[in-house]
Amino acid sequence: MQFTEELERVLPQNIPFRDRVIDKADQHLRLILSANEYMNLTRITDPREAVIKHVYDCVAPWQHFQHAKRILDAGSGAGFPGVPLALVFPGVRFSLAESIQKKARFLDSAVESLELPNVHVYAQRAEDVARIQQVDVITARAVAPVGRIFELFRKFLKNGTRVLLYKGPDVASELAEAHENRVHAEVVCRYELPGGLGVRTLVELRKEHANRT
């Protein structure tokens, strides 16, 4: 199954290395569908929906990642958002943390097949990876609520690491709960998926408010 035409149609014109992103993202999606026959990587198999909900969703807010040097993808799963972002930023070092061993093995194989020298896969929890290497940005997509993510990465926020979370449109309750616990969380980007497939938000966590007790 080829995804190239859909990728060409929907990906933003202004993303860096667009032709390369289209070529490699097509390969990545085909690898996922092949592996999906024996493991649960995704429920989305329609080509158009897969391109939009996986690749487009990951790269749409690319400008918020452009000044990072090292990015950690927490709970990478099939490689989202880490692999599409790594295609956009070949000069940035990406660590994909996936604690489920069979998914980590798939990621290792996919990264090798895609020839991505700027990507390394860790079969570990993201917070453990963050302890052994310095990163500028920690990102995650559909992993856990804002409050849970904050608890996992609190000490890294204190050291100046940014946390950028891919979320759906209904984040108000999560943000309200975070603010009640003196967590600084805000929507830095809101964007619509093509074809009326939904609205997404990018939420940034920052250091705790100074008066937290």
Query: What are the CA-CA distances from residue 187 to residues 4, 67, 82, 97, 172 (Å)?
Result: 31, 19, 20, 24, 10
Spatial distance between the Cα atoms of 163 and 72, rounded to a whole number of angstroms: 9
Question: Quick one: DSSP state of residue 193?
Answer: P
Distance separating the N- and C-terminal Cα atoms of the chain: 55
Element (H, E) at 167: strand 162-167
One-letter amino acid of 71: I
The per-residue pLDDT string of the chain (213 residues; one tens digit each, 9 = 90 and over) reads 679 999 999 999 999 999 999 999 999 999 999 998 888 888 888 889 999 999 999 999 999 999 999 999 999 999 999 999 999 999 999 999 999 999 999 999 999 999 999 999 999 999 999 999 889 999 999 778 888 888 899 889 888 899 999 998 888 888 888 787 777 889 999 999 998 999 999 999 977 654 443
CATH: 3.40.50.150, 3.20.20.140, 1.10.3720.10, 3.40.50.300. Which one for 62-206? 3.40.50.150
Query: In angstroms, rounded to a whole number, what is the distance separating the alpha carbons of residues 186 and 128?
Result: 25
The phi and psi torsions of 145 (rounded to 5 degrees) equal -65, 160
The candidate with the shortest Cα–Cα distance to 15, out of 28, 27, 25, is 25
Q: pTM of this prediction? A: 0.93
User: Which residue in the block uniquely carries the two structure tokens 């452009």?
Assistant: 66
